[in-house]
Amino acid sequence: MTPDDRVYAYSAVLMGSPILLKLFEHNETLASNVFRLIKLQETKLTVNRQQSEVMSVNHAAGDHAVAVSKPVFDLIRRAKAVSVLENSSFNFTIGPLVKRWKIGFNGNSVPAATDLQALLKITDPHDVILDESSQSVFLHKAGMEIDLGAIAKGYIADVVRDFLREQQVTQALINLGGNVQTLGAGAEGAWAIGLKKPFSTPESLIGVINVTNKSVVTSGIYERYFELNGQRYHHILDPKTGYPLDNELLSVTIISDDSIDGDIYTTLLYGMGVEKSLRYLENFPHIEAIFVTKDQQIIFSSQRQFTFMPLDPDYHITG
């Protein structure tokens, strides 16, 4: 028996994403309980259906506050805190712009500049009024929409990890389509997580990240995008301009304990670019980043919680 023979993989499609669960036992019941848990979270947090806790807040924009459950309130509070940081490129009120561009969904198109200008007026995170005592959320302006797409998968990955821990599972991996969370080690001592080669086949990797008990989240411009007249439009939008963020980066990967941090920081640091991010992370030693640039460099902020095995000669480790 090879080490990998001990790993059982279960898959599903949820949240428009391929979901993969790896366990060290054959346990259909546990796997279906995990998928049910993810589905339940999706039901609360999605903005891709008319009904969810988040959508009930959105539907009441400009009109009244809506009470939500404690976990959803806490998640929204966290999303707001990151969004109101000075010059933050993370903005959870980006919903109207996401809905207008439809990047990664049917019917995408490049909005007129005047449309974007109008929508930017309803994407100020300060206009989200949180009331702790009633656990309610009020979107101050009509048309405002919360979108937790840049934080919710990370949060859900942590919910799954906590659930597996409660079930006495000591080794497992959950991949929510780019958001990986791990429990314990993998078959060969650490979990091996592939870093995809941008704009290539799904199997092509530029390297493998080895971690134990860590989250690995990657956000890039090569998964959800469309092309028009030779121009590529990807799904991380600049809250200042309304257009996709444009800089030297292809992707940002975050290695951290909690996947919610990974999800937040991938989006936040993507907007900062490499130089600023490296300085920024000096204050957060438990958050480590791997940047992949358009000129095919791989840059680490630090490397205490993971090892990296390069696999593609076109990409060079710098620094």
- Residue 197 or 235 having the CB closest to ligand FAD: 235
**Least distance (Å) between residue 167 CB and Mg ion:** 25
The one segment of 35-43, 65-73, 143-151, 270-278 that binds Mg ion by CB under 5 A: 143-151
Helix (H) / strand (E) containing 265: helix 259-281
Encoded tokens for 265? 């920081």
Query: How far does Cα 231 stand from its chain's mean position?
Result: 24
**Binding of Mg ion by 261 (CB under 5 A):** no
Beta carbons within 8 Å of 248's beta carbon, 6+ residues apart: 273, 274, 293, 294, 295
For residue 122, the minimal CB distance to ligand FAD (Å) is 15
Contact call for residue 15 and ligand FAD (CB under 6 A): yes
What lies within 8 Å, CB to CB, of 121 at 6+ separation is 141
Site membership for ligand FAD, residue 196 (CB under 6 A): no
- Please tell me whether residue 161 binds ligand FAD under the rule CB under 6 A: no
Q: Does 251 bind Mg ion (CB under 5 A)?
A: no
175, interface contact from ligand FAD, Mg ion, none, CB < 5-8 Å by kind: none
The residue among 52 and 171 lying less far from ligand FAD, judged by its C-beta, is 52
Minimum gap (Å) between residue 262 Cβ and ligand FAD: 9
AA letter at 195: L
278 binds, among ligand FAD, Mg ion, none (CB under 5 to 8 A by kind): none
Strand order in the sheet with 316-318: 8-14, 17-23, 172-175, 179-183, 215-220, 249-256, 288-293, 297-300, 316-318
Residue 270 CB, nearest distance to Mg ion (Å)? 8
- Those residues with Cβ within 8 angstroms of residue 29's Cβ, 6 or more apart along the chain or in another chain: none
Find the binding residues for ligand FAD in span 210-249 (CB under 6 A).
219, 223-224, 235-237, 239
Q: Which does 3 bind (CB under 5 to 8 A by kind): ligand FAD, Mg ion, none?
A: none
Residue 57 CB, nearest distance to ligand FAD (Å)? 14
* Interface with ligand FAD (CB under 6 A), residue from 21, 46, 190, 308: 46
d(CA 22, CA 299): 29
CA atoms within 13 A on the CB side of 71: 11
Measured CA angle at 10 (ends 9, 11), to 5 deg? 125
**Which residue, judged by CB position, is nearest to ligand FAD in the bound state?**
16
Q: Walk across the sheet containing 307-310 and list its strands.
A: 191-196, 205-211, 307-310
How far is residue 24's CA from residue 47's CA, in Å, rounded to a whole number? 34
We find the least distance from the C-beta atom of residue 213 to ligand FAD, in angstroms, to be 21
Count of Cβ atoms closer than 10 Å to residue 73 Cβ: 19
User: Under the rule (CB under 6 A), what is the footprint of ligand FAD?
Assistant: 15-17, 42, 45-46, 48, 89-92, 94, 98, 104-105, 147-150, 152-153, 178-179, 219, 223-224, 235-237, 239, 263, 266-267
Binding footprint of Mg ion on the chain (CB under 5 A): 150, 153, 219, 263, 266-267
